[in-house]
Amino acid sequence: MVDLIKSVTLGTSYITLMNAANLGASFAFYVLIARILTTNEVGAISLLFMVMTGFNTLTLLALNAAIIKFVSESLGMNDAGKASAAFWRSFKAASIVAIASFMLAIFTLPYISLIVKLDAFLIFIALATGLILNYTSLFGGAFYGLWLYGLVALQNIIYFGVGRFLAIALAKFGLGIQGVALGVLTGALACLIYSIIAFKGKLKHIKNDSFPIKLLFNYSLPLYAMNIISYAQGWLDIALLYKLTNDLSALGVYYLVVSSISVLTLIPNSLASVLFPTMSYRLGESGVESVKDMLEPLIRLSLLFIAPVSLALAVVSPTALTVVYGARYAVGAIALTITSLAAIPTSLYALFTSSLQALGYTKPIALAGLISISADAATLWLTVPMLSGVGAALARALMATTAFTVVYLTVKLRLNFNPKGLKRIILYAILTALFPLILERTLEINALVKGFLELISFLIAAITLLKGLKLLNSLEKSLIEKAVPNALKPLLHLIF
């Protein structure tokens, strides 16, 4: 048990470093692109990414998740042949659907361009990028299932690093939005080439060794439905904000606000990515009860990170937007406050969803998505015409809270799950956010200086209160120590 949690922790370190690098590249991209392009052009970029992500979501059929599940579970049963068969059957099925869908999309390109209100060439690049990312996702699923988290990390770092920085360079030198599209396409191609090379020699295809296609789709189709719902969750507010206001500038501001929130979910999302294959392995090895034993300390550690950071960003949102993107984006401060708070249920939802996926309970995940997207759509239609981006942020927050509530209740009932000490962590988060809040409301100085003082006050409060309240038990401290590089351990001992 301890060894598996150690594997989760070490794997999370890899994925956290990957996500940190990706978020760093994305953050730099948005900071620089906000200064190179107009707010209208930033709004157009959001539509470009919406098409790319939409193709990937609609045509992958969640078979990358099926690969993770059945490869890791088969290895837990010590059946490498079954793991290989699961991958190749999924790969073939996904290829048929993706290539046929791409050809259909090219045939209907003028109609898609008219609906999205983007140039047909940009739509073509977005679709081609989505197709390539389907294959990188399939290889990534195999790497996750094999616990090769370092390969997953390199996959994503190549995609984000090459794609985002090339996009900035091309946009800067006169290509504008087309430069962004071409840069992202190049990053996807580089990632695919690396993935093919890294996969060589792993899960070799065995003749006459098949895997039941029905078993794959029985598992993946509820997740596919959930992925479609998740896509709608991520983009419906952006699409309806544009449709109901027809304001690319407002869309550009809101899109940057939403994109900024991804930094808050860095550690929980990394943990969720590793938790899924590890729990699947544990389920195959030792049964359901072992999944519950792994989940509780990981939920507490995630909340301990996400809650104070989210609350602190929520209370200093005007200064944060001014420092990062410039004064013209400060109008999105209220939306940033709302979405920062929504990052807490969003992060916990990812962890609970991973545990349900590992257990094979995919239908409750789809149900959570369906209920939450319904709440999202209703709130958007009611609030966006009056409140614009603030209404979209309120809808996103309600959606996140609803989805979290459904999956939490499912885990609670299925596993008799009742973690202790969460109220103390919330109290800790509130106390750490008080100091930045006071400075935000009282200081009338340069935004950069003000932001620096707020950051210092938050760090001092967070470290002092963490030591004083003694929120971590010995197991949780041990897990953190295993995940932190040796060079940073003296700092860790100072914090504890």
How far is the first Cα of the chain from the last one, in angstroms, to the nearest whole number?
24
DSSP 486: G
Q: What is residue 264's predicted lDDT score, i.e. its pLDDT?
A: 74
CB 254 within 8 A of CB 238: yes
CB contact set of 448 (below 8 Å; sequence gap of 6+): 323
Per-residue exposure over 277-292, b if at least 16 CB sit within 10 Å of its own CB, e if not: bbbbbbbbeeeeebbb
What's the CA gap between 180 and 490, in Å, rounded?
42
**Looking at residue 10, what is its pLDDT?**
58
Distance of CA 358 to the CA centre of its chain: 18
Q: What one-character-per-residue DSSP string does 375-386 give?
A: HHHHHHHHHHHH
Buried b (16+ CB within 10 A) or exposed e, 419-431: eeeeeebeebbeb
pLDDT attached to residue 482: 59
Residue 278 contacts residue 294 (beta carbons within 8 Å): yes
Q: What six digits make up the tokens of 39?
A: 């707010």
Dihedral angle, C-alpha 61, 53, 378, 307, nearest 10 °: 100
Residue type, 462: A
- Closest C-alpha among 10, 329, 275, 304 to residue 144: 275
Quickly count: other Cβ atoms within 10 Å of residue 367's Cβ: 18
Closest CA to 306 of 349, 344, 252, 345: 344
Answer whether 276's CB lies under 8 Å from 351's CB: no
Print pLDDT tens along the chain (496 aa). 445 555 555 555 666 677 677 777 877 888 888 889 888 888 888 889 999 999 999 999 999 988 888 888 777 777 778 888 888 899 999 999 999 999 999 999 988 888 877 889 999 999 999 999 999 999 999 988 887 878 888 898 899 889 989 999 999 888 889 999 999 999 999 999 999 999 988 887 776 567 888 888 888 887 888 788 878 877 888 888 888 888 888 888 888 888 878 777 766 666 666 665 566 565 555 556 666 667 777 788 888 888 999 999 999 999 999 998 888 888 889 999 999 999 999 888 888 887 787 777 778 888 888 899 899 989 999 998 888 889 989 999 999 999 999 988 988 887 777 777 788 889 999 999 999 999 999 988 899 999 999 999 999 998 888 877 777 766 666 666 655 556 555 666 666 6
The strand ranges marked E within 212-362 are none
Tokens 């794959």 belong to which residue? 216
Contacts of 265 by beta carbon, 8 Å cutoff, 6+ apart? 306, 343, 346, 347, 350
pLDDT number for residue 207 = 67
CA distance 87 to 85: 5
Spatial distance between the Cα atoms of 7 and 293, rounded to a whole number of angstroms = 15
CB 211 within 8 A of CB 85: yes
Cα 285 to chain centroid distance, Å, stands at: 28
Q: Give pLDDT, residue 413.
A: 84
Could you give the count of Cα atoms lying within 13 Å of 269 in the half-sphere of its Cβ?
15
Question: Which residues are CB-contacts of 358 (< 8 A; sequence separation ≥ 6)?
Answer: 69, 275, 276, 277, 278, 279, 280, 282, 283, 291
- 174 dihedral zone (left: phi>0; alpha: psi -120 to 50; beta): left
The DSSP 8-state label assigned to residue 485 in this structure reads: -
